Structure 1
Amino acid sequence: MATHSATRPQRVTDRIEQAVEALIAERGLAIGERLPSERALAEMLGASRNSLREALMRLGERGRITLRKGGNIIAAPPSVRMEGGGGVPSQWAQATIAQPLAPVVAANPGFGHDVMEVRHALEGQAAYYAALRARPEDLDHIRRRFDAMAERHGDGDAAEEARCDAAFHLAIADASHNAVLRSVMSSMFGLMQASISQSLDKLYTVPRTFERLSEQHELLLGAIVAGDADTARRASDDHLAFVAQTVKAIDEDEARRNRASAVHTPSLPAED
């Protein structure tokens, strides 16, 4: 027999709380990115300011957002909960992993290869567990991120496409329901975005790359939706291997051309 709690109408605050979470997912907001103002959110969600504030307080208590003076609301992923009730916020991973590396990666594109190796280690596992654990709402989130990425493919805005690409892979990490894995990948969102942007700038110099990337992402999505964990992990590994190998070949070719251009053939003496 159904319990009373299972049949009671959904509270207004619960609905607003879920709507704000859906908005964060829909926009692919990462750590440090702002939600709309309270006034804009209230109008957008058709909610009273009091109900909205109660929902925001609950999201803050869960570590989903950070409330700041002046009404600023900073989107943040859930904290990593440890045994015994303790918690290590994902901001810790951001501060200790991503922030110190960000200027180094930005100044030296060669570090993109290191980022790619870490992504290879993490994202195959994320895809595997997403295929096993994704709920219907997770799959819907991944599909929406996939559609947003597909709309940006080949439109000439590599930075925005990179953001959508990173958001797609982060949605897969969300669906893994592994708080530690999700927190580490979230902390690396900016590094992933920079790495992807650098890769796309190079990959699109290779004919038919757009089609190859689209096929790989679609295969990854299909395996997760089908619940095929082994195929999902293999699709993720194959995709990242393709990107890494192609970018490496482009870099080597560019370095070869630079070496060749640096060696000038001595000019022949003029004839009498």
Structure 2
Amino acid sequence: MSNVLKGKVALVTGGSRGLGAATAETLADQGADVAISYVASEEKAAAVVAKLKAKGVRALAIRSDQADMAAARPLIDKVMQHFGRLDILVNNAAIAVQGKPVDDPALDTVNLDRQWQINVLGAVATTRAAAPVLSDGGRIIFIGSLLGTRVPFPGVADYAGTKAALIGYAKGVARDLGPRNITVNVVQPGIMPTDMKTQALGETVPEALLDAHPIRRIATLEEVAALTVFLAGPQGGYITGEVITAAGGLGT
């Protein structure tokens, strides 16, 4: 365990599983106290908190539904009440709706609209709520997707659109908060071993998709978490308004 983030407080939205949980653990490994938000996975959230506390940091799980923009302010208020400060915001919470081409008569527009609500408007609401209380010199990291800048297969227009929207928003927030030395960046993972990947591809990654990676494998959660936490740390202080892809060269 390092102490480079000792004294800092981080919030990871959607931190009860997958990349969110891995990021929360990596932040704790660097000494940060960590709050995570979750929607339904109370047992998983409690397990993550137990792991974080075992590392010697303070930790808290907060139930908060990012689909409800009104939930953002109470989420940030609870972090501030418990920890007294907020230094790092990782906007990780998101969903992926199984897509179809936009001209498909069976297009699930209801859930696709919900995807926009959670992935974009929810992240915007959390950022707006956090910005006034975020410490000067703080960090905001949006978890995007390779699909935000490259779309190598059909049926993902809405998901790709939500992640592309985050890029423009993050760059604008970086400009707004730069005078306070707050950095704002987007991390774009490719395929990772998450529930989203399993829903979209099944348990195994098709050989043709692996062949599209110069590094012929998918990422580990720890690799993407390490990049995210680097941006959250002191060595990331001059990187802002950037989009950094960690996708094993997929789409190259």
TM-score, reference length from structure 1 = 0.28
Tell me which structure has the larger Cα radius of gyration: 1
Higher strand share: 2
Higher helix share: 1
TM-score, reference length from structure 2 = 0.30
